[in-house]
Amino acid sequence: IKDYDLVKRTDDVGKYIHAALADMIENGAGRGKVEKLRGENAGTFIAFDGVTSETRDKLILEMRKQGVHMGGCGDKAVRLRPMLVFERKHADLFLERLEKALGQL
């Protein structure tokens, strides 16, 4: 963890993902489909809700079809809990696939 400065990396990548998700929810493919983004300044521990449980379930299914495993929590939430070695390049792949999946809902 110290050798690769993973705590700082997780913080930086988390801020990057959170900002991109906020924009996607406000102005992009997630508008009207996902809401209540949480986890700002919490590293990559980020969550958001589908507007309905059905929307959340469809999103998780679409992401799995694209090779991304995401978990649901509670009635409508999606939680992101990537590994410490998750880098910006991985975040870009995730965000690209999430935008595509949201566009298919």
- Name residue 44's beta-bridge partners: 42
pLDDT the model gives residue 94: 97
pLDDT category of residue 71 using cuts at 50, 70 and 90: confident
pLDDT category of residue 97 using cuts at 50, 70 and 90: very high
Neighbours of 26 (CB within 10 A): 10
pLDDT the model gives residue 84: 86
Beta strands 34-38 and 77-80 are unpaired
Q: What is the mean pLDDT of residues 29-50?
A: 96
pLDDT the model gives residue 45: 94
pLDDT the model gives residue 85: 87
